[in-house]
Amino acid sequence: MSQTVLNTAHLARAWRQGCIVGLAAPEPQEQAALAAALGPGGTADLERQWGPGVVLGSGGSRGGGGAGRRWCLLPLGHLQVSAASTGRWLEGLGLDPAACLHLNPLPLHHVSGLLPWLRARQWGARHRRLEPVWMRQPALLVQAVPLPRGRPVLLSLVPTQLRRLMAEPAGEDWLRRLSVIWVGGAPLPAELAARARAAVLPLAPCYGATETAAMVTALPPARFLAGVDGCGPSLSGVELRCAGPEAALELRCGRLAPGWLEAGQLRPLPRDGDGWWRSGDAGRLGTDGLELLGRLDGAIHSGGETVFPEQLEQRLTKAAAAADLPLQAVLLLAVADREWGQRLVALVRPRAAQQGAALLQRLQRICADWAPAERPCRWLLCPELAPSPLGKWQRARWQRWLMALEAGHADVSDRADEHLQ
């Protein structure tokens, strides 16, 4: 068992030797967390049962009841099934996977950074890593990575990266010349989707998790450009359903992670008797596939209603963009309420400090006709408000910020420690 892999050549060599390899970010706390998960005893038994594979950190609360970060075992066979499924999806678009160039801006320890390399390896396609600095400077990216003529080019991005590249005309033009831009890892903001459609970017919003060996749904770019929202239909070999009054998204497929490692012991992924795994998200299924409603662990119960803050954030952001309001970011958090059970509080970041008071008033007017359980009971300016570099909201961190503010000693110094490499 190898805990640290420097590059894909080392990983391929370890797999040929039948090893299960742990992949983690280089930060000491991540390396220590991985080492604790692997335990001191080695993984010979797991390798005998599952063959070569990887152990990757998951996002934490998906399907885990909010139990924190988990380290998923993903056998190589599961990863290969995932790659084959994506290849069939491309073939459905009329693209030959073997003829593609797969650009990869995400780190190897991220499931969406591992899979582009593995897909290209399995398909016989070309793969190229993109340096992190290029993703922050579109002009540099365009100069460093000229796009080949006559070869389909694929790219996987998180919304934060997409936004950065679209910030400059050169970056937007470069994106327009790609064949497929998968966007996942975090919800695609409505205003960013609208801008991408106006720029005719071939986005393919998708959904997946570490536990599912990357994406299990993807919306074809033509459907996205036609105005369809959501994450698209399921890929081959994947079944989806939305179960119960909470519309909990459940998945069944042959490539689900066997489980999580804790101190060298495999804790099986919880599934029901028919093999369905509850993802931790809520959603609905329609003719165009999956539409996410929000995280079940983020849902609140207010006045007898189940409310999904993420969905309301998207709705508010879209309305603010349509009204040309200077809204940089908004986050809705729950506070306890004796009468309602829970109510929403809105944290708002304006584009400029002097725009704050007027912005709050106009946002409140937008929400005036929303259902009572959906309307925030308080609006707070938060100039520091921002998601992590991967575009995910660290809600627990901002919940602590809100609690500290209410206690009279707000401290937002605990910056996000999740970084793109």
**Residue-wise pLDDT tens digits, 197-221:** 999 999 999 999 999 999 999 999 9
Please list, in sequence order, all residues whose beta carbon lies within 8 angstroms of the beta carbon of residue 114, skipping any fewer than 6 positions away. 23, 54, 56, 79, 108, 214
DSSP 250-288: EEEETTS--EEEETTEEEEPP--TTS-EEEEEEEEEETT
DSSP letter (8 states) at residue 2: B
Q: What is the 3-state secondary structure (H, E, C) of 129-159?
A: ECCHHHHHCHHHHHHHCCCCCCCCEEEEECH
CATH C-level class of 299-407: alpha beta
What does pTM read for this prediction?
0.78
CATH number for the segment(s) 8-296: 3.40.50.12780
CB 183 within 8 A of CB 202: no
Give the β-pairing of 265-268 and 300-302.
unpaired
Write the CA distances from 311 to 227, 308, 374, integer angstroms: 18, 6, 10
DSSP 3-state of 21? strand
Label residue 100 exposed, middle or buried (CB < 10 Å: 0-12, 13-18, 19+): buried
| Alpha-carbon torsion (382, 295, 420, 316), positive or negative | negative
Q: What is the pLDDT along the chain (421 residues), one digit of tens a residue?
A: 444 556 899 999 999 999 999 999 888 878 889 999 999 887 888 999 999 999 999 864 333 333 457 899 999 999 999 999 999 999 999 999 999 999 999 889 999 999 999 999 999 999 999 998 999 899 999 999 999 999 999 999 988 889 899 999 999 999 999 999 999 987 788 888 999 999 999 999 999 999 999 999 999 999 999 999 999 999 999 999 999 888 999 999 999 999 999 999 999 999 999 999 999 888 999 999 999 988 787 788 787 777 889 889 989 999 999 999 999 999 999 998 877 888 999 999 999 877 888 999 999 999 998 888 899 999 999 999 998 877 788 888 999 999 888 877 544 333 333 333 2
CB 257 within 8 A of CB 268: no
Please list, in sequence order, all residues whose beta carbon lies within 8 angstroms of the beta carbon of residue 260, skipping any fewer than 6 positions away. 37, 58, 64, 70, 71, 72, 73, 266, 267, 269
* Alpha-carbon gap, residue 402 to 387, rounded angstroms: 15
Q: Considering all CA atoms of the chain, what is the largest pairwise distance in Å, rounded to the nearest integer? A: 64
| HSE, side-chain direction, 13 A CA sphere, residue 376 | 23
CB 118 within 8 A of CB 11: no
Domain boundaries, the chain: 8-296, 299-407
